[in-house]
Structures are given as structure tokens and as C-alpha cells.
Structure 1
Amino acid sequence: MGRRSDFLAILPLAALAASTPVDLKHQARQVFDPFNPCKSCFRSSWTQGPECTANSIIRSTLSRVTNPPASATATYTPTKWCTDFLRQTDWSTSYTTSFGVSTHTDWTITHLFITVTDTEHPTSTMYCPIPSQGMVCGVDSNTIAPIDQGEDWSIEHYYNPEECQQVCLDHPLCKAYRVDGSPQSGWNCEIFNVGLGVNASHVINPTIPGTQWWDRNCQQHIPGPCRARAVRTAAPIQIEGDVEPTAPAENPAVPTPAEPLITPEPTLVPRADIVKRSAELPDYMSDLSYFWSYVYLTPACSCLITSALPPVPSTTTSTVTRWTSSTTVSTTYEDWFRVTVTPRETTIYMSIN
């Protein structure tokens, strides 16, 4: 609420009708209810009510109003201030009509992409083998014949199954790989230049099925992107090179909303109302600006004086625009995006078993 005094204007109409006397020339002082004050009271003169002496809060507030400190008496008089505080404003509003042309904007957004190649990261290679006839996938045997099976000793051995197959595919002579171990104990990877043979005929004492020996084109250990490619493509692709820049894409135009309706010319009906004026509190009563104290100033002042200054008239004018026609302006907006591409190369290997 602060220092505003216009709370008298927000009383519900039903309460106004119940509390407003028919005779507006001489209003009786309102029945004490600071939280639902009478909107039209105090227009001429009134008599003091019994609460002026019976209500302790009103008596306390009235004492603050009528007992200013010596420093305030030069510019403040209680009766004069209350007379102005209870003064009301009679105001009315009339309406006029202006005419104009409404403008509607039809707009489109075009998305444009700038592709930048990231050259700071080296190109990686991923091998996607294609299944071959006669390959054997999953054999167990604890016996290795390094010379007969052509073991390649040039690699490190600490690769998991997926990495081990990629190492085999990266060596053109590799036909099979063997891997055993676990994530907890560690992995051991070996690659061989001789395949497993029909029904694992090149493996000593084979047990089928198993989890150690695999021909290079088996599908159990291929990377995830290779599996996705197998689903997307029916025919094998030899080489996929660097990613090409994305071509600019354009969104369809945003649907155009319906044109505005013509506003009919309003009927000029003046609005009349009454609002109690806002009066600044003296500095020494600034603590009463808090709502629960402020609402008691109105009944307190009505206990001090029996009439307020005459209402002040006030007239305002509100303009309503009437659109006689409309026009459309088309605008295109460009929305730019920067796309960074890191080249990746995927090689599809045909079987060489």
C-alpha cells in the first residue's frame, strides 16, 4: 500500500450499494470498518461515530495525528491535513476513435550452415568385416602351433576382443585371431596368418562352440557403427571418406496468422467514479504508511473533522483504434550455424580367408 490512499476505489459493487446512502448531498459518517471503507462517504459533512472514543486503535491513531512534534508544527496542521486527506476526486473517462491501417508481417526463417573441418584431430580408421563362407566363429583350444598357424609376433598382446579383431583386420596377412581373459584379469590377444580352416581343421584339439579362436570376418566383435551400417545398407560399401559439408537447409515458411478483425467504433459512454485523493503523510507519521496502520487514518481523520474539501473534478480521454484495412510485409530471416566436422574413415573389408 505504501503512501497511496486510493484503496477506497476497489470496494466491490455489492458492498458499495449496501454502504452508500441514497442522499448524496449529506452523507452520514460511515459505520466503522477501515478494511471496507465507504466509497462515497465524506462528500459533504458527517457526524462522529461512537468508535471515535470506543476503539483504542482509532484513539491511538488520532492521537498521532493531533499531536505533532514541535519540529512539524511550522508546516503541518492536523485539521488542515485531514481535510485534504479525506478530499475526493470526481473523475470521468470519455472515449474517442482513431482510424488506421494495420500491418501484418509474414516472415520466414532460413537455416544456413557453415561447415568447418577439424584438422587438429588425426583421422581414425575403423574396419567393418563382411561375413564370408566357411568362416569359423568361436572355438576353444589351449594348444597353439605358432609356426603351423603363422602367428604374428609384431603386436602387443593386451587387447580386448573388439580391439584384437581390429588389429587383425589392420594386418593384411592376418586370417584369424585368438583372445582370452576377462576385464578383471586382463586380456591376451594373438593374431595368425593362417585361418581356422573348415570346421576348425587348423586348430589342435578344437572344441566347438567356444570363445577363444575366431576367423577375421566373424561378426561377434565388430564395433557398434559397423552394426548400424549393416542395418542401414543392403550392399557393402568399400570406403567412406571424409564427411562432406552439410548443404544449407531451409525451413518452410511459418504459417501466416489470420488478418486482424476490424474493430467496431465504440459507443462513447463517459465513465464516472470517485476516488479518495492521495495525501503525503507528514514525516513524523511515516511509520503509519504500513498497511495495517494506514487504514486507520481515514476513520481517525473523520473523528477529527466533520467535512472535507469539495471533490476535485478530473476528466481523462481514452483512444480506441479502428482498423479500416490491413497490409502484409514479407520478411526473411537468416539463421546461421557453424558445424565442425572431424574426418573419420571406415574401411569395409571383404573376406580373404
Structure 2
Amino acid sequence: MSPSPSFFVIVALVDLVHAIPLDQKHQARQASIWNPLSPCASCFRSSWTQGPECTTNTILQSTISRVLNPPASETSTYTPTKWCTDYLRQTDWATSYATSSGVSTYTSWTITHLFVTVTDLDHPTSTMFCPIPSSGMECGWDSNTVAPIEQGEDWSIEHYYNPEECQQVCLEHKLCRAYRIDGNTQNGWSCEIFNVGLGRNASNVINPTASGSQWWDRNCLAHIPTACRQSTRTPPPISTTISDPAIVTDPTDPTATTSTPASARPTITTAPTAVPRGLSKRDAPLPPYMSDLSYFWSGMYLTPACSCLISSALPPAKSTSTRTVTSWTASTTVSTTYEDWFTVTTTPRETTVYSSIN
């Protein structure tokens, strides 16, 4: 909010003409302002004398010729000496201050978190198989030879499954009686399923070696899912349904409020020290035909050129500016509440675990 000023203190302006020492009011031009790279700002406050460079310096004479010889199209609105008198005119500037007092307003904001629960029903039901162990099953054999034709390999599956996945693929296929896994391939695990079982002592496997990790009958328990790990003495039921809901914390209080403190209270301010008054040459516009001299490096000879054509400029002009400094005498706080909504998604999942038939 913008406070209403209760009082103003105006800093009086000082006439800078009288602030310049008398011995600086009239200076020899050639000793003070001839250096075009560093022109003297206070040398044009009164009158001056022309220096010898006005007739001896080639570059300066060229600029003087530009100023004195405008094209015919410019003569109706442009007079060289009149323009130089305005171009070399000084500007005195000063800053005054107005001090106001008021009450500052601060906002204390609070965020309220709101939760809404959405149920995702698109997740598909997954199926897992629990094999029933049999007395004649053969588990854990190796072989350095695979004969797909004799052993009835089923080519309908992709080969890149880990051991747990490979057994589930075998159990999904009613004709599958054995599976083989190999973890030493370039692409990781390799899985193969066969419609011919291992036979007693792996008699259907070529060159079998006991206590291996490649060949398994479909009902072996080495790679069964965790949900199937029940007592092997009692076969698992024909079908079991287990619930596996997503774990979501459903807050009893639908809102949770978090407050953020307001900014620190300000200290009472006072009016700063006045900006020092300054002096600068006015930037009078160039005639259109000299617009190419608007840049410093191309027009830095304009100031000494004009000082060669006239001996005094227009009296300095005054320029003032006012700044307001606010002194806060008190403060007030306004509370604002924002709502921040969150969506919590629950995904109910049911995994049906079946028992396979040996």
C-alpha cells in the first residue's frame, strides 16, 4: 500500500553559479579545455578567450568548417554561433527530498494441503502358478548337448527369461514337461521349454550330469514364486486368491496446514544525506547535417570548435529532482490462505495363484 505523506522537508537549492570560485569563472581557454578527450565542465560558466589551436590544428579547423558551413537546406533553422551558444550552455542540477511517514502492510500466508484419493482400476490381474511336486521329478541336471528334436523343444517362446520366469512360462504351457536355463549367454538369461520330460535320472537328456543348474522338470521347487512357498508336505490348494493393494497412507485429516512466517519487521528509516549537486554540459541536439558526429569519438572536436567561434555561452540552466523517502511508523499484517491440492492414487491389485497339474 502507498502511505499518505504526513509532512515534507524540502532541501533548499543552492545556486551553483555563486558556488564556483571567482578565479574559475574566467579561465584561459587553451589551458583549460583544449584537450578534447577531457573537456573542462566549468570553463564555460562565463566568458573565455580563444587559443592558438583554433587556427593551427588541422582536425579542429575541419570541424569548425563543418559547423560554419551548413547546406542551404539547413540555413532557415540553423545559425552556427547561435547553435554553439546553446550547445556549450551548462546545466546546474540538484536533488531535494520529501520525507513521508506511513503504516506498512505485510502479508502472512498459510498453505493448506488438500488430498483427494483416486482409484486406478486399469491395472490387470496377474496370474502365477504353484507347481505340485511329484515323486518322480528330476531337478538340477547339466548337459553339454541340446537336441531340440529328440527332446521336443517348444519354439513358441522368447528365450530371454530368468529362472523364475522360465518356470512360469513352462507351467503356462500344458504340454511343457521340462525347462532349461542358461545364465552364461551374451544377453543374460536364456530360457528353453521342452515337451519331453527329463526322464528317470535324466535319461532323456543327452550327456547328463547330476547336481547341475540347467535342466529342471516343470514341478521342481527351486524357482517357485514367494507366494507358493508353503509346506511341501501338504500340496497347496487348487486355487487361492490373495490381495495385494498398493500401500497408500490415507490421512484421517484431509487437510494439513503449514504456516510460513511473515518477513521480518522493518526498522524505522530516516531521510538519507542529500545527493551532492552537480554540473554538466547540456546535450543539445545536433543539426541534421551533422548527425554523423553524434558519437563521442567522431564528435569530440565539436566542443573546442564551438569555443573557437564564440566567447561565451548562454547562462547555466537549473535542473532539480525530488525524491521521497518513507519513514514507517507502524506496521500491520494481513493473513492469506492458499490451497495446495494433491492427488493420491490407489491401485488395487489381485494376484490369483493356481496350482499346476503334474
Same topology, TM > 0.5: yes
Q: Which has the larger radius of gyration?
A: 2
**Compared CA separation, residues 158 and 309, structure 1 to 2 (3 A):** same
Give, in whole Å, the separation in 2 of the partners of 1:85 and 1:126.
Answer: 94
Return the alpha-carbon distance in structure 2 between the equivalents of residues 33 and 334 of structure 1.
68
Q: 1:165 to 1:105 in 2, by over 3 A?
A: farther
Aligned partner letter, 2:243:
I
Q: 1:258 to 1:27 in 2, by over 3 A?
A: same
1:324 Cα shift?
0.5
AA at the equivalent of 2:87: F
The whole-number CA distance in structure 2 between the counterparts of 1:193 and 1:81 is 112
Normalising by structure 1, what TM-score? 0.66
Kindly tell me the number of residue pairs found equivalent between the two proteins: 306
Which residue identity lines up with residue 239 of structure 1 in the other structure? S
TM-aligned CA distance change 1:177 to 1:84, over 3 Å: same
8 Å CA contact 1:108–1:333 kept in 2: the answer is: yes
Amino acid at match of 1:23: D
Report how far residue 300 of structure 1 moved. Answer: 1.7
Q: Would you say the 8 A contact 1:160–1:179 is kept in 2?
A: no
Aligned partner letter, 1:298 = T
**For each residue in 1:112-144, what CA deviation from the matched residue of structure 2 results, as whole angstroms up to 9, or x when unmatched?**
56666677x662638699xx9xx9986423579
Contact 2:123–2:349 under 8 Å retained in 1:
no
Letter in 2 for 1:177: Y
Is residue 43 from structure 1 mapped to residue 45 from structure 2 by the alignment? yes
Q: Which moved more, 1:42-51 or 1:239-248?
A: 239-248
> How much has 1:243 moved relative to structure 2?
7.8
> Structure 2 length normalisation: TM-score?
0.65
Measured in 2, the distance between the counterparts of 1:346 and 1:22 equals 101
Aligned residue number for residue 126 of structure 2: 125
Q: State the shift of 1:44 in Å.
A: 0.6
Question: Pairwise mapping of residues 159-178 of structure 1 onto structure 2 (< 5 A)?
Answer: 159-162=159-162, 163-168=165-170, 177-178=179-180
Contact 1:128 1:347 in 2 (8 A): no
Q: d(CA) in 1 for partners of 2:335 and 2:138?
A: 67
Q: State the Cα distance separating 1:258 from its structure 2 match.
A: 1.4
CA RMSD, Structure 1 to Structure 2 (Å): 4.9
Partner of 1:23: 23
CA contact (8 A) 1:94 1:271 kept: no
Look up the match of 2:192: 189
1:302 to 2:324 alignment? no
Structure 1 contact 28–45 (Cα < 8 Å) conserved? no
Alignment match of 1:94 (pick from 63, 85, 96): 96
What is the CA–CA distance in structure 2 between the aligned matches of 1:325 and 1:196, rounded to whole Å? 95
* Structure-2 residue corresponding to 1:84: 86
Equivalences for residues 47-62 of structure 1 within 5 A: 47-62=49-64
Q: How does 1:327-346 map to 2 (within 5 A)?
A: 327-336=332-341, 345=349
Q: Is the 8 A contact 2:93 2:319 kept in 1?
A: yes
The unaligned stretches of length 5 or more in structure 1 are: 1-19, 223-236
Give secondary structure in 2 for the equivalent of 1:256: coil
Give the partner amino acid of 1:330.
Answer: S
Structure 2 residue ranges without an equivalent (≥5): 1-19, 227-240
**Take 2:120 and 2:75, find their aligned partners in 1: how far apart are those partners?**
81
What amino acid sits opposite 2:126 in the alignment? Answer: T
Are residues 252 and 279 of structure 1, via their aligned partners in 2, closer, same or farther at CA, if it must alter by over 3 Å?
same
* Secondary structure class of the residue paired with 1:301: helix
For residues 142 and 90 of structure 2, the distance between their equivalents in structure 1, rounded to whole angstroms, comes to: 103
In the TM superposition, residue 56 of structure 1 has moved relative to its aligned partner by 3.1
Q: Classify 1:47/1:158 alpha carbon distance in 2 versus 1 (closer, same or farther; 3 Å).
A: same
CA distance in 2 between partners of 1:172 and 1:106 (Å): 69
Letter in 1 for 2:70: P
Paired residues for 1:184-263 under 5 Å: 189-190=192-193, 205-213=208-216, 215=220, 218=223, 238-241=242-245, 252-263=258-269
Secondary structure of the residue aligned to 1:57 is helix
Structure 2: how far apart are the matches of 1:101 and 1:175? 88
